[in-house]
A and B are shown apart, each in its own frame.
Chain A
Amino acid sequence: MGLEFQRDGTQSSARLTGELTIYTVGELKTALASELVAVDALEIDLTGVTEMDTAGLQLMLIAKRYPGKTVQFVNHPPAVLRLVDLANLGSALGDPLYLAAVES
């Protein structure tokens, strides 16, 4: 699991790699918390996510609920899309999803 932030003023972007599962959500939430305190908007690139479970999906929802901050997820890989689609949360998360990625 890896999460690297690149801050640009009040904006930050991050690349998440490895698992987004029950084994990593605790650590990830702490990392997100310390970054979100400092910035107004955070964009998380999920390209490198290899595996996700319910806990991971839930963390995405939780992150979205950070009061007053904008959190966006981009580049959902198949592992993430499958679950978002299964849980029918695409619209609830509100991130642009690429159908092409589902097919790959």
Chain B
Amino acid sequence: MADSSIDLSQALGAFMEEARELLDQMEAILLRAEEAACDEEDLNALFRCAHTIKGSGGLFGLDEVVRFTHVVENVLDRLRKGSLQFDSALITLLLECQDHISNLIVAVAEHSEMPVARSDALIVELQGVLGQAPGGPAPGGPVATTPAPAQETAAEPERDEDGSAVMAADHWHLSLRFGEGVLQDGMDPLAFINYLNQYGKIAHIETITDQLPDFDGADPEICYLGFEVSLISSASKAEIEGVFEFVQDNSQILILPPQSRIAEFLNQIEALHGDVSRIGEILVACGSVTAKELEQALAEQRRAETPARIGEILVEQGAVPPTVVEAAVKKQIHAEERRNVESKSVKVPAERLDALIDRVGELVIAGVGTHAQIGRLDKPDLLESADLLLSLVEDIRDMALRLRMVAIGEVFSRFPRVVRDVSKELGKQIELRIHGAEAELDKSMVEKIGDPLMHLVRNSMDHGIESAEVRRARGKPEVGTVELNAYHESGSINIEVKDDGGGLDRERIFKKAVEQGLISPEAILSDQDVYRLILAPGFSTAEKITNLSGRGVGMDVVRSNIEALRGTLDIESVPGQSTTMRLCLPLTLAIIDGFHVGVGSSHFIIPLDMVVECIELPPDIGDSAYFEQRGEPLPFIRLRDVFGEEGPAHPRPRIIVVRFGSRRAGLVVDRIYGKCQTVIKPLGPLFAEVPAVSGSTIIGNGDVGMILDIPALIRHCSDIERSYLRLARPVAA
């Protein structure tokens, strides 16, 4: 039984994943529906999403998911049939429902308590849409000529008001396909079925014999038979399931409760993998068409020159509604498609990939070390093969890292919804434009930039975009625009959140910062520096506090999140026109190309992407903190001073010019070793207080090198500088 529980949890995992995909799809369609009328295909897709979630949820006994989704499905069904029309309020409600289903599934995953109260509240709203009194009996309900089992009413309080859609009103339907080995395992399927009589009355059994081979090919000890059973019973689903407890492995046991609607058994068809080619048989077994109708259809098929599909013939003859066959046929196509997709990609657990990358990291370190030792041997042949080996190892490193790359669109995809909801809430009209959704970055980054981006987007919408009146007065289009752009640039990815709003008000930020004691009133700051003040903890200029932003919480969190990813946040603003927040992030967190330098007896690694050039420090520089290079001032810092290094100095120190975002700075070092592969090892908490170091690494000769966090280093130094400026030379330029 242990095995089966593993199977189940795997299957459940697959269900969650599928459900998430379906919910995303629902969201996308709903958002589209808001802009333009939905076509039939969208409406059908929408219905199928809810329907499949409900169906699969039922298979796993997720009653709350089924109960709630069922009502949503009813609404979608009405939309699909045209008896209900989309309006803005309905879309909002359905989006809320979609969120709620998503929450329910999360609750299942986390084994936390189901938010039942929320379900109830939404169901009441949905029923309002359906025109039903909540919990009341359905008008003209077709069900229950015989008294329906009372406890089922509790599980499904709402009734389908559409009489024709309800089938087989008062019995359970069991679809049983036993595993081949069930007989050899000493179990007797018919004995189980017979046992069902303990729970009620078997109304009808259809034995499915089409898997039965002919005489010669048949192994009489293998079970080829399937059974479709109608059971009149007041037992619970768990009780009926219990009957088949011991045969669940390798068997397909499907139990549909009474009052299942046609939709329900469509699901059943979908669930019956392998049997899809026998649509007709399944339809008959479910009571959807009679055997006679099927026979006629089959006869027709035999008569036809080119064999038409049974489904089409049945529809033509009016024997089954098109939707029924559509689902069955879809399944056939879907099975085919899925097979194709499966052959194109392989799913690998993330931790296995991480383990691989970790090992590749070690391989790179070992490779570099070996290469360095061989280099000292003065054996050109050996060195040549070591070169080749190293370049192969580097290729493997790149490929391994690429395995983890995912398109940033994964993060962007949630924003259309956010923009929609927030603009509604704010009463602004805002349009979202997305560019560069295909740009790739490391999976672990994708997971971590979602929240910071969310803050930035909300901030832009709330503070950036002006109200419609102001926009009109300023001669701008009434509809504001928020843009999300992503693009690669020199080993990093830039993500921009741009709005065409009022821009940042330099004066107001400055004033506020002074009020809050962040800067002195005399401080001389560049525009950039002023804008960066909005990232300070507790800073907010918003005059109106909304529940989105304006509480001064957020932007500093954004900054620290981004810094934790070794990224930077630049702010550009054109007053009255636009604000651009530019996130610059490294592509990966695991391995970088580093530039190896030495100061005293210590080793430091500078991310190679940031290195612009190496020059010699002019000997006559003295104590100055900048020098002029090609007509531009270049500020520099001495790593020796920053890290209190006291080892032997070099008579002619060098300057490494680094660039990040739009800034340049110089780092004074003693020695330059050159480019090296750097596998980043996180620093322990012991080093948390060390400024400007983002990690450590093992360099070729086995020594430990510190990886410099350039943006933090510059900031650290300019903070010191600024306080110095403020205190000592407040008026100096």
Interface residues of A (CB under 8 A from B): 22, 25-26, 28-29, 33, 36, 53-55, 57-59, 61-63, 65-67, 83, 86-89, 92
Contacts and interface: CB of A to CB of B under 8 A. Distances in A.
Given A62-B218, A63-B215, A87-B227, A57 B190 contact: yes
B198 interface: no
A80 B100 CA distance: 53
A81 B188 CA distance: 16
23 contacts: A22-B183, A22-B221, A28-B220, A29-B218, A29-B220, A53-B183, A53-B190, A54-B189, A54-B191, A55-B188, A55-B221, A55-B223, A58-B223, A58-B224, A61-B212, A61-B225, A62-B213, A62-B218, A62-B220, A83-B190, A86-B194, A88-B205, A89-B207
Interface in B376-418: none
Nearest to B218: A62
Task: Return the 5 tightest CB-CB contacts between A and B, nearest first.
Answer: A25-B220, A66-B215, A88-B205, A53-B188, A54-B190
B209 A61 contact: yes
Contact of A26 (B194, B212, B221): B221
Contacts of A92: 207, 209
Contacts of B188: 22, 53-55
Contacts of A28: 220
B186 interface: yes
Nearest to A29: B220
Contact of A86 (B183, B193, B212, B224): B193
B220 A58 contact: yes
A70 B145 CA distance: 46
B211 to A, nearest CB: 11
A54 B226 CA distance: 11
Interface in B83-122: none
Given A22-B221, A58-B225, A88-B204, A53 B214 contact: no
B489 interface: no
A33 B217 CA distance: 12
Contacts of A29: 218, 220
A65 B186 CA distance: 25
Interface string B235-253: 0000000000000000000
A86 B205 contact: yes
Contacts of B223: 54-55, 58
Contacts of B146: none
Contact of A87 (B184, B205, B221, B224): B205
Interface residues of B, number: 27
B220 A59 contact: yes
Given A54-B223, A87-B207, A88-B204, A22 B184 contact: yes
A89 B191 CA distance: 15
A93 to B, nearest CB: 10
Contacts of B183: 22, 53-55
Interface of B: 183-184, 186, 188-191, 193-194, 202, 204-207, 209, 212-216, 218, 220-221, 223-225, 227
A92 B281 CA distance: 15
Contacts of B191: 53-54
B215 A62 contact: yes
Contacts of A87: 190, 193, 205, 207, 225, 227
A61 B213 CA distance: 10
B214 A88 contact: no
Chain A interface SS verdict (over half): helix
Q: Which of B184, B215, B216 has the most CB of A within 10 A?
A: B215
Contact of B206 (A36, A57, A86, A88): A88
A66 to B, nearest CB: 4
A54 B193 CA distance: 11
Given A36-B215, A65-B212, A86-B190, 20 more contacts: A22-B183, A22-B188, A25-B220, A25-B221, A26-B220, A54-B183, A54-B189, A55-B188, A55-B223, A58-B223, A58-B224, A61-B209, A62-B212, A62-B213, A62-B218, A63-B215, A67-B215, A88-B204, A88-B206, A92-B209
B244 to A, nearest CB: 14
A67 B202 CA distance: 34
B728 to A, nearest CB: 96
Nearest to A55: B183
A99 B224 CA distance: 28
A92 B205 CA distance: 13
A72 B193 CA distance: 26
A63 B225 CA distance: 15
Contacts of B204: 88
B545 to A, nearest CB: 71
A94 to B, nearest CB: 13
Contacts of B205: 86-88
Contacts of B209: 61, 92
A12 to B, nearest CB: 16
Contacts of B193: 86-87
A66 B217 CA distance: 10
Contacts of A55: 183, 188, 220-221, 223
Nearest to A36: B215
A52 to B, nearest CB: 9
Nearest to B196: A86
A49 to B, nearest CB: 15
Nearest to A53: B188
Contacts of B215: 33, 36, 62-63, 65-67
A102 to B, nearest CB: 15
A28 B219 CA distance: 11
A76 to B, nearest CB: 15
A28 B220 CA distance: 9
Most B Cβ at <10 Å: residue of A57, A66, A86, A89 = A86
A61 B214 CA distance: 10
Contacts of B194: 86
Nearest to B212: A61
Contacts of A33: 215-216
Nearest to A32: B215
B125 to A, nearest CB: 46
Contacts of B213: 62
Given A22-B183, A54-B225, A65 B207 contact: no
A85 B719 CA distance: 90
Contacts of A63: 215
Contacts of A26: 220-221
A95 B364 CA distance: 77
Contacts of B216: 33
Contacts of A25: 220-221
Contacts of B186: 22
Contacts of A86: 190, 193-194, 202, 205
B212 A58 contact: yes
B29 to A, nearest CB: 44
A65 B224 CA distance: 14
Contacts of A67: 214-215
A55 to B, nearest CB: 5
Contacts of B218: 29, 62, 65
Given A22-B184, A87-B190, A92-B209, A65 B214 contact: yes
